[in-house]
Structure 1
Amino acid sequence: MLFGFHWDLSSPEAFALSILPILLIGMKITILATIFGFLIAMALGLVFALLRGVPLRAVSWPIAFIVEFVRDTPLLIQLYFLYYILPDYGITLPALETGIITLGIQYSAYTSEVYRAGLEAVPRGQREAARALNLGAWRTYRDVIVPQAIPRIVPALANYLISIIKDTPILSAITVLEMLGAAKIVGDRTFRYMLPLTLVGVLFLILTAVAATAVRYLEKKLPRAGIALK
């Protein structure tokens, strides 16, 4: 029994039905970590991409170093650092929030490169035309560059969304009870691992399939020439 759930070991079917509620609780945690981690990654990645494009080396070089450092260090080390080291300096966060922030920071390094590639893919003539129309830097990015870059970056961002979904099991290292963590506890208590892990694999497949389908739908709806942000 875990969190009030009783497991029926009389048959595989009964066992599967009895453990499904706890796996669905873990699935909820997985979805929350994915959504908020991805939102952080998109927002922070855009900030990194824009700052790396600043002509001043005093700004662009430190940002480039931060992006490379985050991208080249393992997610697990970053997770342990935020969860176990920061409390020594007076910064203590709950496990789930720590996991979400870690996922967001890790993937912001990847999304920043996606943003940068998308922004650079916009023809230079578009910037020159905006300059000829006397548009400021902010309006040029908001009304000309970013709307044309979005359709180019959606497929790559979708890949990282799916990667975040598949990386959420690492949060169990800091006691976050996502799907795989819940399945491992069920296996430890019942000495039956195959069925819980199989169900978790199926649930992950469902999540990634739904995410991929939603992104493909979004790709079809986005005009290739760009979107209007107004």
Structure 2
Amino acid sequence: MPAFWDGVLVTLQVLLLGSLISFSLGLVWAIAFRAPTRFVRWPVGVVTEFIRTTPLLVQLFFLFFVLPEWGVQFSTLTTGILAIGLHYSTYTAQVYRAGIEAVPAGQWEAATALSLPAHRTWCAVILPQAVRRVVPALGNYVVAMLKDTPILAGIGVLEMLQQARLSSAQSFEFTEPLTVVGVAFVLIACPASLLLRALERRLVH
């Protein structure tokens, strides 16, 4: 159990930091999609589409095995967090994009009529309305990220499943460790879903 709790801590770190990266970077992608020049829109579109359509495991191995050949190297945990965050940022970007496009055109026109600068238009008018619309979809990706954390075992990150596998290899007992891990995923995912639902209700009302 001590090793299991270490795995839980690692899983939560990956989930929280990966979510922070994916939500922040996804917003940057979404705003870039609306850049006035195609020399910004097109490269962003190509990069995000490439990341979104290639497997997470391939991206994870690229960051872990290829980048060190170019002189860029991170720890296994940092690499896993970056891979999860970067991969899911391309999905959250589409969610933000849909929320931004759902803001009525009159809101943009009103901001223009008031001569609001671009940053004030985004921060005070557009994004508050867009975020309310996309919270449920973002919550789904939090759960998806949680379920993808076992992939990080491929580069040696000692998250919950990897700890269970190591324990099973030592004791040759697989039922108990894997059952505990399955229950732990449920116990983490359910409160996260309830919290996001409560946040959704608060934003809507």
Give the match for residue 74 of structure 2. Answer: 93
Identity among equivalent positions (%) equals 47
Per the normalisation by structure 1, the TM-score is: 0.88
Q: Which amino acid aligns with 1:155?
A: P
Q: Could you tell me how far apart the structure 2 residues matched to 1:128 and 1:89 are?
A: 47
* RMSD after superposition: 0.8
Give the match for residue 227 of structure 1. Answer: none
Give the match for residue 47 of structure 1. Answer: 28
Q: Which amino acid aligns with 1:203?
A: A
Alignment of 1:140-179 (within 5 A): 140-179=121-160
Deviation string 1:19-77 (CA, Å, 9 cap, x unpaired) is x2211110100000000011000111111110111121111000001110000000000
Q: Could you tell me how far apart the structure 2 residues matched to 1:150 and 1:58 are?
A: 27
| Unmatched 5+ stretches in structure 1 | 1-19, 225-230
1:120 equivalent in alignment to 2:120: no
Q: Could you tell me how far apart the structure 1 residues matched to 2:24 and 2:201 are?
A: 23
Q: CA deviation at 1:222?
A: 1.1
Alignment of 1:1-230 (within 5 A): 20-223=1-204
Deviation string 1:124-175 (CA, Å, 9 cap, x unpaired) is 0110111111112211111110111111010000000001111000111111
Q: Could you tell me how far apart the structure 1 residues matched to 2:2 and 2:190 are?
A: 21
> Which of the pair is proportionally richer in helix?
2
> What SS is found at the alignment partner of 1:222?
helix
Could you list the structure 1 runs, at least 4 aligned residues long, displaced by more than 4 angstroms after superposition.
Answer: none
Q: Which amino acid aligns with 1:89?
A: W
Q: Could you tell me how far apart the structure 1 residues matched to 2:201 and 2:34 are?
A: 30
> What SS is found at the alignment partner of 1:103?
helix
